[in-house]
Structure 1
Amino acid sequence: MEDQVEQAVEIALSSNVDSNLKQQAMAFCNQIKESSDGWQVCLALFMSERKRSPAVRFFALQVVDDALVKHLNGNQKQLDESSLASVKDALLSYIQREYGPQNTAETDAVFMQNKLAQTITYFFLLSYPHTWPTFYDDLIALSSIGGHLQNARGLQLFLRILLSQHDEIADTLIQRSNDDARRNVTIKDEIRAADMNKLADLWRQILVQWTNREDGYLITDNCLRVIGSWVSWIDISLIVTPQYMQLIFSILGNESLRGAACETLSEIVSKKMKSADKLELIGLLNLPQLISQLPLGSDPEFTEKVARLTNVVCTDLIKILDESQLPPQLIETAENLLEQYMPFAITFLSNEFDDTSSEVFPTISDLLSLLRKEKKRNHPLTPNRLAMVTSILKTVIVKLKYDETMDFHNGSDDSENEFLDIRTRLRLFQDAVAAIDEDLFMDTISSVVMDCLSKQDWREVELGLFELGAYSDGLRNAAALPAKGRESSKAIGLLDNMLLRMTSSNVLSIGHPAINLLYLELVVKNSKFFESHQHLIPQMLEIFVSGVGIHSSYVQVQVRSWFLFYRFIKLCKAMIGDIAETALGAIGDLLVIKAELAQRDENDSDMSEPGAGETDNIDSRLYLFEASGIFVSVDSVSDDKQITLIKNILNPIFLDLEQSLPRAPEDSRLALQVHHDMMAIGTFARGIADGGKQITEPVREQFLLASRAILVSLETLSGLEIIREASRFAFARMVPILGQSILPEIPILVNRLLTESSTPELIDFMSFLGQLIHSFKGEPGMFDMLDQVLTPLLNGIFYALSVSANGSTDEEIQQTDMKKAYLSFMLGVLNNGMGAVLASNTNRPMLDSVLQSVAHYTTTSNDSFIKKMGSSVYPRLEEIRNKSYQ
């Protein structure tokens, strides 16, 4: 039978056998697992003196484990007392044979030792202390030769068992049932009462006997790991003794083991205990003297672990200081200890390796959080704490700078992204300092900015601009600066000085993309600054339209600058003055639309999604069209000049539409070109409406031409969703310009849109139509328009709602959204005094269907919004119907 199991496992794991045979082998293995005596076969297979392959033996232990765990959990009592006794004898016999001092053969691989340790741990849970009270004594005896712990392979297995035991009975990261938790508490109590003293002494002996041996690394390392894991639930006094601590401290001088020793110390300090006891422990360890003597810096991995140890101590001290009720003597002790440790934490924060710096982030965060709380309690900063905060701020500022090994890639480089992530977290520390001591923050940052803006190294300048951004953000952010600080003349005055320094500096001559981009971001963020310095606006516009900004040779900078340029124009439009036409001329070369398709399968002609496949940055380029709309509509531009400028922008688009449409149905790129042209018209219209200049009849006439061009395009390409989407977009943006003039165009738009509109499109269109109804309610043209479009629209809605969702969650959500949009639309019609349109000669035949649909959706839907909306709409519709029959 054992041979059959071996053969089945090897076949199941082989990649070179027939699939049917493989399936049979896997079925046989599963049958062995589930059978009541399979564990016996597998235990014998594992114990066999003829060693099978590691994979077979691993499988055998898995089957034994399953039986032990099922018995342990009470699911299947496959093991009676006799069976348990045989398992114990078998395990002891195997360990004595394979791990005893007399065996000189090659030991099991590490993964097999770990698996065996796990199996023994499961059996330990079943047998300790009742049926195997001498568990630890038996394993210690196997690890000894002549009374000394000299059996290396036996020790290795024993230590692996101890690590496995901790995982099963004490690891707090593993969730356990109440029964398992109670069982584990009982076992730990028994260990503490019967065996813990001998185990603690055993670990000490191992450290004494094996630390300095050439072959002792693995044993000492595992012993330290055992101490570090078990210390969380044993009596700390067994470990924290002068003799024990001196041993661990001495291991810190061993280059190969010092990392493990450091981690063990971290676990010792992390042990939960009362504040007084924790302070006593930290004082007893006297780690500052120890850390100052360690060879830090040459080994980044070890330095990181020492940083972690420092963080553990500091966070515990800060937690103690944050307690609401603490005797003054303990507060003084904790404060003195924190003053000893914080210089180390700040030194680690400044480390060139971000992994090391990150280890003390919790300490910095907790300390700053504590100081913020104390400020709210009106507790002033002591000189020592002020010194800590000052040191933290200065260290953070240094860490915020790009180092010499890194260049700017604007988020396209992994190492830079890691730095930017660290930078974001460091920025939070800086903001916290601002909340603790605004004067310190303002004076330090302004000094750094002024100094950096005088440098020529791009990293220095970038730091200065970054900190200027942090300062200006803090001035607007209540979380960063208290209201008093935000509104103080000092805070605003310092910002004003820094911005003046920036705008008068020569930093843009460096020509680095990081500087250019940050500079423009700051100009936009601080647009209010230009209200009191309007003479600088021409200079800023000149910078924007130059190679620094929208004409940058760096594509990412260029594209981002298009948006920033638009934002600056929008925010400062009232101050642009006579330079609008000049600025518009400077961007004319960018107001050219050229659609490009991404590489795709030649058979893929799907153009259903807006902007499908585009690689032409059209979304960003549209910001330039919107900015152009603002430029031509500022008050300084005369009416005649405005019309000329509008024609200069629209006529090329009209011509492009005229040339593209004939071939667009067969050419995906030209169809995309038409989409882009329509989006540009709508975006340009939005800019004009936002410019502030009164809309004149000649302007309106130009956009009536645009609306008709769009309708022609829609008629030609109504089967493409991107065209339908662009036409809705453009018409919605032209409403403020065209006013009532747009109403006669809407029925044509509706008829062309409804031919193939999807549910989401119908929802969007109902929203657009609802806005028109609200904007032009009471206008004669509105009633006539709605009278023409209502029946076709309702037919489209009813058809969309009649289509089954086919069990698809997305489709069910769309149907619910459609019902909500439909009821909201009907309520908008009623609330805006347009209910009579439902009873007109054109729409009266639909009125009963409308009533029935509202009643049906209201009574059958589980959605509270639909029920509430329907209950509001139905009685008003019924009233309209009753009146129509009178």
Structure 2
Amino acid sequence: MEDQVEQAVEIALSGNVDTNLKQQAMAFCNQIKESDDGWQVCLSLFMSERKRSPAVRFFALQVVDDALVKRLNGNNKQLNDSSLSFVKEALLSYIQREYSPQNTSETDAVFMQNKLAQTITYFFLLSYPHTWRSFYDDLIALSSIGGQFQNARGLQLFLRILLSQHDEIADTLIQRSNDDARRNVTIKDEIRVGDMAKLANAWREILIRWTNREDGYLITENCLRVIGSWVSWIDISLIVTPQYMQLIFGILGNESLRGAACDTLSEIVSKKMKSVDKIELIGLLNLPQLISQLPLGSDPEFTEKVARLTNVVCLDLIKILDESQLPPQLIDSAENLLQQYMPFAITFLSNEYDDTSSEVFPTIADLLSLLRKEKKRNRPLTPSRLAMVGSILNTVILKLKYDETMSFHNGSDDSENEFLEIRARLRLFQDAVAAINENLFMDTVSNVVLDCLSKQDWREVELGLFELGAYSDGLRNAAALPAKGQENSRAVILLNKMLLRMTESNVLSIGHPAINLQYMELVVKNPKFFEAHQHLIPQMLEIFVSSIGIHSSYLQVQIRAWFLFYRFIKLCKMMIGDIAETALNAIGDLLVIRAELASRDDNESDISELGASDSDNIDGRLYLFEASGLVVSVDAVSDDKQLALIKNILNPIFTDMEQSLPRAPEDPRLALQVHHDIMAIGTFARGIADGGKNVTEPVRDQFILASRAILVSLETLSGLEIIREASRFAFARMVPILGQSILPEIPILVTRLLSESSTPELIDFMSFLGQLIHSFKGEPGMFDMLDRILNPLLTGIFYSLSISANGSTDEEIQQTDMKKAYLAFILAILNNGMSAVLVSRTNQSLFDSVLQSVAHYTTTSNDSFIKKMGSSLYPRLEEIRGKGIQ
């Protein structure tokens, strides 16, 4: 049978056998696992003096493990006490044979040792302490020669078993059943009482004997790992003794083992205990003296571990200081200790390696959080704490700078992205300092900004601009800084001083994209400054439209600058004045639409699924069209000039649509081009509507032409969802310009949209109609338009609502949203004096359907909003029917 198992496992794992044969082998292996006596065959196979392949022996132990785990869970009655006794003798016999010092054969591979340790651990859970009280004595004996821990083979297995035991009975990251948790508590109690002292002594003797041996690295490392894992639940006084600590501190001088020793110290300090005991422990360890003597810096990995140790200590001290019911003497002790450790934490924060810096982030965050709480409790910063906060702020600022090895890619490089993530976290620390002591924050940051703006290194200048942005954001958002409107506050005066220095500086001559981008961001973030310094606006406008901004040779900077230029125009539109036409001329070359289609599969012929390529950039370019709409609508532009400028922008779009449409149904790129043209019209219209200038009749005529061009496009390409979406978007944006003039176009729009519209599109369109009804209530043209479109619209809505969701959550949500939009649309009709349209000659045949649908959705829906809205609508609809409005 053993040979059959071996053969089956090897076939199952082979990649060069017949599929049917492989399936048969796997079925046989599963049969062995499930059979009552399979574990016996596999245990015998594993123990055989003729060693099988590692894969076969690993499988054998898996089968034994499954049997032991089933017994642990009470599901294996075949593995009775007699069987367990047999397993014990078999395991002891095997390890005494294979792990004795007399055995000169090759040791099991590490993964096999770990698997054997796991099997022994499962058996330990079943037998300790009742049937195998001498478990640890037997293992210690196995590891010894003449009473000394000299059997390297046995020691390795001994330590691996202890590590496996911790995972099973004490690892807090593993969730366990209540029964398992109770069992583990009992086992740990038994270990503490009966075996813990001898185990602690054994570990100490192992460290003494093996630390400095050439072949002792792995044994010493695993022994340290055992101590570090077990210390969380044993009596710490067994470990924290002068002799033990001297051993571990001594290992810190061993280059190959110091990392493991540092991890062990971190686990010792992390042990949960009362505050008074924790302070005593930290004081006893006297780690500051030790850390100051360690060779930090040459080994980044070890430095990171020491940073982690420092973080563990500081977190405990900060937690103690945050407790409210502690005697003053204890608080003073914790404060004194924290003052000793924080310089190390701040040094690690400044480390060139972000992994090391990140290790102390929790300490910095918790300390600043504590100090913010202290401020809210009206407890002033002591001089020592103020110095500590100042040191943190200075260190954070230095860490915020791009280092010499890093280039600017505006977030398109992995290493830069990691830096930007770290920078965002550091920025939070800086904001916390601002909330703790605003004067310290303002003085420090303003000095840094003013100093950096005088430098020529792009990294220095970028840091200054970044800090200026942080200061500006803080002034707007941080509760600790002066509120908005305090124009004469010291904080605002400092901000204006820094912004003025920026505009007077020569930093843009450096020509670095990071500087240019930060500069423009700051201009947009601080409109109040430019309201007070309007003479600077032409200078800023020139910067935006130059190669620094919207014409930058750096594509990512250019695209971002398009948005920032739009924001600048929107914020300063009332101050642009006579330079409006100059601004428009400067961006004219960018108001050109060139659609670029995303790469498609050669077999993909359906143009209903269109997508723009990453280099298409239409979303960014639309900001320029909206900015153009704002520019042509400032009061300084005469009506005649406005009309000419609008024609200059719209006519090329009309021409492009006229040329593209004939071939667009067959050419996906041209269809996408038409989509972009429609979006440009709608976005340009939004800019004009937001510009504030009264719309003249000639301007309105231009957008009537635009609406008709869109309707022609929609008629040709109504099968494309992106064209339908763009058309709805553009019409909604033209409403403020066209006013009632848009109403005659709406029935045509509805007819062409309803022929293809999906449920989400109908939802959006009902919202658009609701806005129209509200905007033009009482206007005869609105009633006539609504009367014409209501019947086909309601027919489309009812059809969409009649389609049952296929069980998917998304479709159910969509159906609910559709019902809400429908009820809101009916409510808009009633609330805006249009109820007569529901029972007009054109629509009265549908009125009963409307009434019944409202009643149905109200009574059947589980959504509270639908129930509430339907309940309010139904009586009003009944009243309309009762009055018999014709």
Tell me the amino acid that sits aligned with residue 705 of structure 1: L
CA distance in 1, matches of 2:143, 2:865: 73
CA distance in 1, matches of 2:480, 2:548: 31
Note closer, same or farther for the CA distance 1:579–1:281 as it changes in structure 2 (3 Å cut): same
Q: Give the secondary structure class of the aligned counterpart of 1:571.
A: helix
Equivalent residues of 2:431, 2:478 under 8 A apart: no
Displacement, 1:799?
Answer: 1.6
Displacement, 1:615?
Answer: 3.6
Tell me the amino acid that sits aligned with residue 631 of structure 1: V
CA distance in 2, matches of 1:756, 1:170: 63
| Alignment correspondent of 1:159 | 159
Q: Give the secondary structure class of the aligned counterpart of 2:672.
A: helix
Q: Give the secondary structure class of the aligned counterpart of 2:133.
A: coil
| Alignment correspondent of 1:329 | 329
Displacement, 1:115?
Answer: 0.4
Equivalent residues of 2:128, 2:135 under 8 A apart: yes
Equivalent residues of 2:58, 2:115 under 8 A apart: yes
Tell me which moved more, 148-157 or 754-763: 754-763
CA distance in 1, matches of 2:77, 2:360: 50
| Alignment correspondent of 2:224 | 224
CA distance in 2, matches of 1:482, 1:378: 18
Gaps of 5+ in 1: none
CA distance in 1, matches of 2:603, 2:158: 65
CA distance in 2, matches of 1:486, 1:282: 48
| Alignment correspondent of 1:208 | 208
| Alignment correspondent of 2:800 | 800
Q: Give the secondary structure class of the aligned counterpart of 1:576.
A: helix
| Alignment correspondent of 2:696 | 696
CA distance in 1, matches of 2:817, 2:811: 10
| Alignment correspondent of 2:454 | 454
Equivalent residues of 2:481, 2:491 under 8 A apart: no
Tell me the amino acid that sits aligned with residue 594 of structure 1: R
Show the 5 A alignment for 1:386-401. Answer: 386-401=386-401
Equivalent residues of 1:61, 1:119 under 8 A apart: yes
CA distance in 2, matches of 1:381, 1:482: 20
Tell me which moved more, 177-186 or 476-485: 476-485
Q: Give the secondary structure class of the aligned counterpart of 1:228.
A: helix
Tell me the amino acid that sits aligned with residue 210 of structure 2: W
Equivalent residues of 2:12, 2:26 under 8 A apart: yes
Displacement, 1:143?
Answer: 0.6
| Alignment correspondent of 2:490 | 490
CA distance in 1, matches of 2:655, 2:260: 75
Equivalent residues of 1:707, 1:731 under 8 A apart: yes
Displacement, 1:611?
Answer: 4.7
Aligned length: 886
Equivalent residues of 2:8, 2:28 under 8 A apart: yes
Deviations 1:596-638 (A, max 9, x none): 1122123324444575557411111011010000111001111
| Alignment correspondent of 1:866 | 866
Equivalent residues of 1:607, 1:722 under 8 A apart: no
Deviations 1:827-871 (A, max 9, x none): 111111101001111111111222222222222222222222222
Equivalent residues of 2:434, 2:478 under 8 A apart: no
Note closer, same or farther for the CA distance 1:185–1:48 as it changes in structure 2 (3 Å cut): same
Equivalent residues of 1:605, 1:668 under 8 A apart: no
Deviations 1:490-516 (A, max 9, x none): 100000000001111111111111111
Tell me the amino acid that sits aligned with residue 11 of structure 2: I
Q: Give the secondary structure class of the aligned counterpart of 1:320.
A: helix
Deviations 1:576-613 (A, max 9, x none): 11100111010000011111112212332444457555
Tell me the amino acid that sits aligned with residue 100 of structure 1: S
| Alignment correspondent of 1:848 | 848
Show the 5 A alignment for 1:131-210. Answer: 131-210=131-210
CA distance in 2, matches of 1:4, 1:412: 57
CA distance in 1, matches of 2:748, 2:23: 65
CA distance in 2, matches of 1:370, 1:84: 56
Say what the alpha-carbon RMSD is for the aligned residues: 1.4
Displacement, 1:472?
Answer: 0.3
Note closer, same or farther for the CA distance 1:482–1:225 as it changes in structure 2 (3 Å cut): farther
| Alignment correspondent of 1:104 | 104
CA distance in 1, matches of 2:805, 2:731: 31
| Alignment correspondent of 1:813 | 813
Equivalent residues of 1:767, 1:821 under 8 A apart: yes
TM-score, normalising length: structure 1: 0.99
CA distance in 1, matches of 2:592, 2:400: 40
CA distance in 2, matches of 1:260, 1:483: 51
| Alignment correspondent of 2:516 | 516
Note closer, same or farther for the CA distance 1:482–1:371 as it changes in structure 2 (3 Å cut): farther
Equivalent residues of 1:485, 1:491 under 8 A apart: no
Q: Give the secondary structure class of the aligned counterpart of 2:604.
A: coil
CA distance in 1, matches of 2:505, 2:496: 14
- Structure 1 segments (4+ residues) deviating >6 Å: 484-488
| Alignment correspondent of 2:421 | 421
Displacement, 1:878?
Answer: 2.3
Show the 5 A alignment for 1:784-795. Answer: 784-795=784-795
Displacement, 1:642?
Answer: 0.8
Tell me which moved more, 379-388 or 484-493: 484-493
Q: Give the secondary structure class of the aligned counterpart of 2:292.
A: helix
Tell me the amino acid that sits aligned with residue 294 of structure 1: L
Tell me the amino acid that sits aligned with residue 671 of structure 2: A
Tell me the amino acid that sits aligned with residue 88 of structure 1: K
Is 1:24 matched with 2:24?
yes
Displacement, 1:804?
Answer: 3.1
Q: Give the secondary structure class of the aligned counterpart of 1:4.
A: helix
Note closer, same or farther for the CA distance 1:418–1:55 as it changes in structure 2 (3 Å cut): same
Equivalent residues of 1:431, 1:480 under 8 A apart: no
Deviations 1:800-846 (A, max 9, x none): 12223333332222222211111111111111110100111111111
CA distance in 1, matches of 2:361, 2:434: 17
Deviations 1:178-233 (A, max 9, x none): 11111111111111111111110000000000000000000000000000111111
CA distance in 2, matches of 1:244, 1:105: 35
Equivalent residues of 1:411, 1:417 under 8 A apart: yes
Tell me which moved more, 479-488 or 91-100: 479-488
Is 1:58 matched with 2:58?
yes
Identity across matched positions, percent: 87
| Alignment correspondent of 1:733 | 733
Displacement, 1:15?
Answer: 1.0
CA distance in 2, matches of 1:244, 1:424: 42
Deviations 1:134-162 (A, max 9, x none): 00011111111111110000000000000
Displacement, 1:775?
Answer: 0.5
Displacement, 1:371?
Answer: 0.7
Equivalent residues of 2:774, 2:828 under 8 A apart: yes
Equivalent residues of 2:598, 2:611 under 8 A apart: no
CA distance in 2, matches of 1:666, 1:138: 83
Show the 5 A alignment for 1:436-585. Answer: 436-478=436-478, 481=481, 483=483, 489-585=489-585
Is 1:120 matched with 2:120?
yes
CA distance in 1, matches of 2:484, 2:203: 59
Gaps of 5+ in 2: none
| Alignment correspondent of 1:715 | 715
CA distance in 2, matches of 1:444, 1:582: 41
Tell me the amino acid that sits aligned with residue 671 of structure 1: A
